[in-house]
Structure 1
């Protein structure tokens, strides 16, 4: 049968019982009574709470699940969390109110095969948590493994398929060497033991369909690479390998990434100087690294950008903030000729004036037919 436990946390974390308890009417009532008695006392140590919860889980026949609720924010060491989660625990996150760091909570859920839900009103908590329980209380397959025969399917994203619950879709994208008929076998375990399902499938050779799927695959692959990049130091040889693949995928499929600078193919030449003005593609190289100063005032939640452009003749200048997929968030400037020094401010809102959550964004400058990008990070 199922087991349950409760952990309350603020600046420290404390377990309700020393061990998990069997789920029955009596223990459920006791847990509910304990939760109703919890009062907010200040402080939010997310790492302590999740560390304590993960250390109480074991990689056994149970499908390990953490329901994590918080109304505050704190520093999160995502790399450490990945190492702690040796039990394949799924973490479902609920951020309550307007003071949570949505970027970190989304990342916690994504890294641990869960979902993140944000609740603005406390009165909606019961409905949202109940809806989650109704969805995940019937696990069908734990640790699913996919096998294709013939084995010509590769580069599947995500590399590890998540546990599968009733009513869920299992979405994986990958590549294959040859079109044709194939047999897909999905194997895993449930509470009764090992199980396996086999399906006949067809790998299409339709160029229109494949063109669409390749872009979907590239977007998922880019997300995986950017996540890996966050945990690799710049001096590590793997860092260059990851950035090269990011740049290659971004150029090939038209996505903006931290390593992508879009230039016209005809402009891929060595840097030259004409009359003291630097010509493309040097603009795309120097904009992000040397010519743009970024500062942030957390008290008024405003970011400032200062561009030094005295020796560059820039025409048709457009400065935007994009999300990580390249979707425009807000237009900051659209001028026919750039001044020598351009100062811009961004009050951390989108084009409609709605507040933008913490997380990673892309600063984009487009001029003379060249786009240059730089990653910026918002923290609350």
Structure 2
């Protein structure tokens, strides 16, 4: 972290004003407020940084609030470059409330001990970026990162759609655009056809506007990779939000369920899901009942797969579930429900359903990949299958 701070101060623009804040269990400021990046001030700041030694504690909250509490102009591009190599807690809402000058917070996490989710959210909430570096790549990566953020091309970005039938757009907060960087925005639309995307922002102090005519396709099989990209972006946004609330809280659990749902539906690995093949199910026999059932819910791979004109899906309900409401649903790769194969209360045992490749209205569905999902209480299991007419 010290090498990163030395590099940053040594590469200030001549017109910059700056300050240095060191923190461990306490917070110490180089100057009460930012000072011009003149030679003497820079040299004293470098000596201030060089004298820093690891001394226990990581008062992340105090350091961020101290930085935001400095005297700053409303007309300048105010930036905090935050460098840390420790683990700490942070009240994200307190930081947002203290950021009255629209300060952009850029974060460098150094080493393996940092809380990536927390620091990513800190940057995202304050219109910045987060970078995570190994101890052996500080100079190169910070040099590249610092060169990028010194000269933003477009700031305070806003994106609108006409007609407005576009929702669930990610990232939730659009970042500034820098040299050599692209802006990727993912959303969902309900109405295919022609539309206009309007991008506005501030470029070198002036309001800038760009308009792009687009056409939203009605072909659900076109650009098949996009739904998964959208789902991955949404999962990332949810994980960042989850890091800002107490684990196990009602809000945290709701977001967790949505992460799991998207993960299973789109085949995206998360900390809550695994796509490892568990092998054949383990069966147990209930004493004196003569009934055999698995010890956990099991959703088997459909057979045949690929299929035409129909396929069979087998699932098992465990003895521990007793009477259980089970639903088997089919989704396309856009996440749209296309069929419900099974929806009723069942006892433990083996069940088999057949799908003929038709939707809820009895219409033939196009060739492609589909997701079938078992839902039973809090249990969700999903697999993929391919329809070839």
TM-score between the two structures when normalised by the length of structure 2: 0.59
Per the alignment, residue 173 of structure 2 pairs with 160
Per the alignment, residue 67 of structure 2 pairs with 53
Whether 1:136 and 2:149 are equivalent positions in the alignment is yes
- Once the two structures are TM-superposed, the CA of residue 84 in structure 1 deviates from its matched residue by 4.0
- Once the two structures are TM-superposed, the CA of residue 104 in structure 1 deviates from its matched residue by 4.2
Q: 1:312-327 alignment to 2 at 5 Å?
A: none
Per the alignment, residue 145 of structure 1 pairs with 158
Q: 1:200-279 alignment to 2 at 5 Å?
A: 200-230=213-243, 231=245, 236=250, 242=255, 245-255=258-268, 274-275=286-287, 279=293
Per the alignment, residue 120 of structure 1 pairs with 135
**Pairing partner for 1:179 from 176, 188, 192:** 192
Partner Cα distance (2:67, 2:132) in 1 = 19
Partner Cα distance (2:248, 2:109) in 1 = 32
Partner Cα distance (2:272, 2:47) in 1 = 52
CA RMSD of aligned residues (A): 3.9
8 A Cα contact 1:261 1:371, kept in partner: no
- Once the two structures are TM-superposed, the CA of residue 135 in structure 1 deviates from its matched residue by 0.8
**Kindly tell me: are residues 97 and 192 of structure 1, through their superposed partners in 2, closer, same or farther at Cα, counting changes over 3 Å?**
closer
Between the two proteins, the alignment pairs up a number of residues equal to 279
- Once the two structures are TM-superposed, the CA of residue 162 in structure 1 deviates from its matched residue by 1.0
Q: 1:19-98 alignment to 2 at 5 Å?
A: 19-25=33-39, 27-56=41-70, 60-98=74-112
**Kindly tell me: are residues 239 and 5 of structure 1, through their superposed partners in 2, closer, same or farther at Cα, counting changes over 3 Å?**
closer
8 A Cα contact 2:79 2:104, kept in partner: yes
Secondary structure of 1:208's partner? coil
Partner Cα distance (1:174, 1:12) in 2 = 43
Partner Cα distance (1:161, 1:253) in 2 = 24
- Once the two structures are TM-superposed, the CA of residue 2 in structure 1 deviates from its matched residue by 3.6
8 A Cα contact 2:27 2:62, kept in partner: yes
Per the alignment, residue 305 of structure 2 pairs with none
What is the CA deviation profile of residues 145-190 of structure 1, one whole-angstrom value per residue up to 9, with x for unaligned ones? Answer: 0112222222111122112222211111101122333222211224
- Once the two structures are TM-superposed, the CA of residue 10 in structure 1 deviates from its matched residue by 1.8
8 A Cα contact 2:120 2:129, kept in partner: no
Unmatched 5+ stretches in structure 1: 263-272, 286-310, 313-369, 374-380
Unmatched 5+ stretches in structure 2: 1-14, 276-284, 299-318, 321-378, 383-389
8 A Cα contact 1:63 1:142, kept in partner: no
What is the CA deviation profile of residues 239-288 of structure 1, one whole-angstrom value per residue up to 9, with x for unaligned ones? Answer: 675455445434432345677799xxxxxxxxxx94488946x8359xxx
Partner Cα distance (1:30, 1:92) in 2 = 23
8 A Cα contact 2:80 2:104, kept in partner: yes
- Once the two structures are TM-superposed, the CA of residue 130 in structure 1 deviates from its matched residue by 2.3
- Once the two structures are TM-superposed, the CA of residue 371 in structure 1 deviates from its matched residue by 8.0
Partner Cα distance (1:38, 1:261) in 2 = 43
Per the alignment, residue 302 of structure 1 pairs with none
**Kindly tell me: are residues 189 and 60 of structure 1, through their superposed partners in 2, closer, same or farther at Cα, counting changes over 3 Å?**
farther
Partner Cα distance (1:98, 1:54) in 2 = 27
8 A Cα contact 2:111 2:132, kept in partner: no
Partner Cα distance (1:83, 1:253) in 2 = 36
**Kindly tell me: are residues 240 and 68 of structure 1, through their superposed partners in 2, closer, same or farther at Cα, counting changes over 3 Å?**
closer
TM-score between the two structures when normalised by the length of structure 1: 0.60
